Amino acid sequence: MAKKKSKSQHPSLYNEVLDVLKHNESKLLNYRQISTMLEITEESDRLYVIEALEELLSKDMVTEKEPGKFQFKSGDNYVNGIIDFVSTGGAYVVTSPTEKDIFIAKGKTKDALHGDTVKVMLNPSYDKRQREGVITQVIQRKRTDFVGIAQVNAKNCFVVPDSNKLHVDFFIPLSKTKGAKNGQKVLVKLTSWGAGEANPMAEITEVLGYPGAHTTEMHAIMAEYGLPEHFPDEIEAAAKGILTEITEEEIAKRRDFRKVTTFTIDPHDAKDFDDALSFKKLENGNIEVGVHIADVTHYVKPHDIIDEEGLERATSVYLVDRVIPMLPEVLSNFVCSLRPHEEKLCFSAVFEMDEHANVVNEWFGKTVIFSDRRFAYEEVQTIIETGEGDYKEEILMLDKLAKKLRAERTKDGSIFFDKEEVKFNLDADGTPTGVYFKVQKDSNKLIEDFMLLANRQVATVLSKAMPKKNEKNPTKSSKGPAVVYRVHDSPSSDKLTDLNNFVHKFGYALNVQSKQSTTQSINKLLVDVKGKPEAGTIEILAIRSMPKAIYTTENIGHYGLGFDYYTHFTSPIRRYPDMMVHRLLEAYLKHTQYSNAEELELFSKHSSAREKVAAEAERASIKYKQVEFLKDKVGNVFEAMISGVTEWGLYAEIIENKCEGLIRARDMKDDFYTYDEDNYCYVGRNTKKVFALGDKVLIEIKAADMIRKQLDFLLVDTISENEASHNRVERGVRTNPNKRPKKAQKGGSKPKKRRR
């Protein structure tokens, strides 16, 4: 039982009184009833309850419906959103893309954890510039499983979470430690977090091992993001029980491509080949190109246990040392995989194209193929560059057509960002021995362009088959047919304006008058800055100005590609939305209906969420390997590029290995630096040195924290290639001389603003 409060313990009962009324919002309560609930018995102390009620009444947070009887006033001052914690223990609640985030001070977050859906009471005095509030309720937990380090002694056990987004440690009863030893990495499940308790209570569900070991850390990443190690036995059994024989009866239902030249082009280490290209010269001089996709839905039926498992996973996840497949290996690597010299069932998009890559005829349907050759991208690239090799005529013609498709996309508004993937050479123990980069070359783009063509045309066909929406009642058809789209919204006008204002300082300009002029000018900008000192800065900001693509049944087009209609059809082995699209296309061809809009939208949202989780897990595995790769290089100096500018310091990416670390503002000790938020830079008060986004610098590795997956750098200096950045103040970076830059934060103070 709580102790009775004395006058000295509650000079203001504002929050306590508000909590009582809030949790009894259907009741009318007087000050005596509230005092009793707060266990305040002294009449003199109850005067503070009256004062609190008067203050709440003056702020319009409660209402006095009867004389002396008060009730909590809910309404516009309450909103729901997703809570996003920062390292200081405070947080922001994201309510919508168009609304300012709500700042929640440390101590006002109740029992919320990062990512939870919460109810926020807005402070009544907030303005448009800075909304503030307090958490009143956790509506839904994002997750209940967490990874951390066990701190065990004879009396108690706490688990310190790995994530710096989690601001509290978990208390573990000694009977729930599962034998974990002090210092081991563990997985815990949240069990409760009672009112007034400082720490949430949890139990250890799995002991992962000691930190730093490859197996421990990779399993920790999988546990952190809810990625399963194996398929349940019943799923494996069901997959092995699938009838895989391709009968003559089945072949007779399909268009036969077994005698048409067909091959796959994939990474050299790929095992799941879900697409192939066929090539055939027609008598009229045109070329027939078949885009053949593994017919996964022939084997996996809607709502069977394999389908349900595939939906739950929604995507394959590619960590640095392993693939966590969406479908069991017997399907993904064998039955459905378009392996060379094997007959395979496919769902195909076949295009008749003239020499200018115009599609003059198209066909969609079920097929059977026989792959003549399995190519790696490197082999095809050699053929493109030398003109020699297996199937050189077919590959060179496909490359020619792909380049024409790309040119047409450019004209129509596709935006082209250079893609460079970080990969690791790992030894037998999983330790990184080297870093290399996968760069998009013509062989990659060849496949990409034909996959984009198939995805676009499937989306176009399905869209045109849909009934027109009822304008008077647009929700009327929610139980009817729909299409699963891959959509990409246009950047907000604010972000485009910010980007345009920034590049203007370097002599560039964007034409944002229309969608087409914007995309064309962004492409021109990316070409014009190549090789320039400011290239890194501008490329980073251009990418960050773009929203993320998602799956939905509501079509808004794909801004980045410049397509009015777009979907995902070409990777059903590793993406569940592609399986949905296969079923939709088959239903269209058979004049039937596969599913309704309501279910498809639900599955689309789930797939988008799982795609985000997969991307975060992949980044975490890369980050871990980067830290592991540099842990024995502390004290070494590298060339790097500033990749982020924040109130707490500079992020820099080492050029030779793409490893990113933080240069803390408090470690920049050669001068007093101020943070210029508008221009993404720090400016030295005395030296006038400028360290800006995209600048090349020399850094020294200060620390490599394997547990936090975090690199700390020290700033050594700018490098000669970037001498121009020293004069950036004179070139107009500080465009508003009357605006005082922010003082560099030395850690511990609350952030003024969160930038996403």
Instruction: Give the whole-angstrom CA distance, residue 701 versus residue 655.
Output: 13
pLDDT beyond 90 at 750: no
Residue with tokens 């729930």: 176
Mean pLDDT of 59-72: 81
Higher pLDDT, 428 or 146: 146
Instruction: Give the whole-angstrom CA distance, residue 261 versus residue 55.
Output: 81
Residue 64 sits in the same domain as residue 88: no
Q: Are 388 and 279 in contact (CB under 8 A)?
A: no
The pLDDT assigned to 469 comes to 58
pLDDT beyond 70 at 154: yes
Q: Which long-range contacts (CB under 8 A, 24 or more apart) does 107-110 make?
A: 108/133, 108/134, 108/135, 109/83, 109/85, 109/135, 109/167, 110/134, 110/135, 110/136, 110/137, 110/138
pLDDT beyond 50 at 739: no
Measure Cα distances from 260 to 125, 143, 368, 395, 724 in Å: 72, 50, 11, 14, 58
Residue 249 sits in the same domain as residue 334: yes
pLDDT confidence bin for 730, thresholds 50/70/90: very low
Instruction: Give the whole-angstrom CA distance, residue 642 versus residue 691.
Output: 8
Q: What is the radius of gyration, based on Cα positions, of the chain? A: 30
Residue 254 sits in the same domain as residue 367: yes
Residue 316 sits in the same domain as residue 351: yes
What does the angle CA 454 – CA 457 – CA 463 come to, to the nearest 5 degrees?
140
Polymer length of the chain: 756
Instruction: Give the whole-angstrom CA distance, residue 625 versus residue 630.
Output: 9
The total of structural domains in the chain comes to: 6
The pLDDT assigned to 720 comes to 52
The pLDDT assigned to 275 comes to 97
Residue 638 sits in the same domain as residue 596: no
Domain hosting residue 539, numbered range? 447-468+477-618
Instruction: Give the whole-angstrom CA distance, residue 560 versus residue 526.
Output: 14
pLDDT beyond 80 at 458: yes
Q: Is 177 exposed, middle or buried (0-12, 13-18, 19+ CB in 10 A)?
A: buried
Residue 262 sits in the same domain as residue 364: yes
- Pick from 144-148, 187-191, 346-350, 524-528: least confident: 524-528
Task: Of 294, 265, 260, 293, give the one whose Cα is nearest residue 279.
Answer: 260
Element (H, E) at 606: helix 597-630
Provide the β-strand partners of residue 95.
none
State the CATH number of the domain containing residue 645: 2.40.50.140
Residue 531 sits in the same domain as residue 587: yes
Please tell me the pTM assigned to this model: 0.80
Residue 573 sits in the same domain as residue 685: no
Compute the mean pLDDT over every residue in the chain, rounded to the nearest whole number: 86
**Of 562, 583, 618, which residue constitutes the final position of a domain?**
618
- Does a structural domain hold residue 753? no
Q: What is the pLDDT of residues 344-377, one digit of tens each?
A: 999 999 999 999 999 999 999 999 999 999 999 9
Instruction: Give the whole-angstrom CA distance, residue 88 versus residue 381.
Output: 50
CA dihedral of 223, 224, 226, 227, whole degrees rounded to 10: -60
Instruction: Give the whole-angstrom CA distance, residue 312 versus residue 327.
Output: 11
Q: What is the pLDDT of residues 300-346, one digit of tens each?
A: 999 999 999 999 999 999 999 999 999 999 999 999 999 999 999 99
pLDDT confidence bin for 662, thresholds 50/70/90: very high
Beta strands in 193-338 (DSSP E): 201-209, 255-256, 261-266, 275-281, 287-294, 317-318, 323-324
Percent of the chain scored above 90 by pLDDT? Answer: 55
Q: What is the pLDDT of residues 546-570, one digit of tens each?
A: 889 999 999 999 988 989 999 999 9
Strands 373-376 and 323-324: unpaired
Looking at mean pLDDT, say which of 433-442, 500-509, 537-546, 589-598 comes out highest. 589-598
Residue 654 sits in the same domain as residue 729: yes
Residue 543 sits in the same domain as residue 646: no
Instruction: Give the whole-angstrom CA distance, residue 746 versus residue 750.
Output: 11
Task: Of 228, 216, 135, give the one whose Cα is nearest residue 181.
Answer: 216
- Does a structural domain hold residue 755? no
Residue 677 sits in the same domain as residue 580: no
Instruction: Give the whole-angstrom CA distance, residue 359 versus residue 10.
Output: 77
Q: In the structure encoding, which two tokens stand for residue 662, read together? A: 């933080």
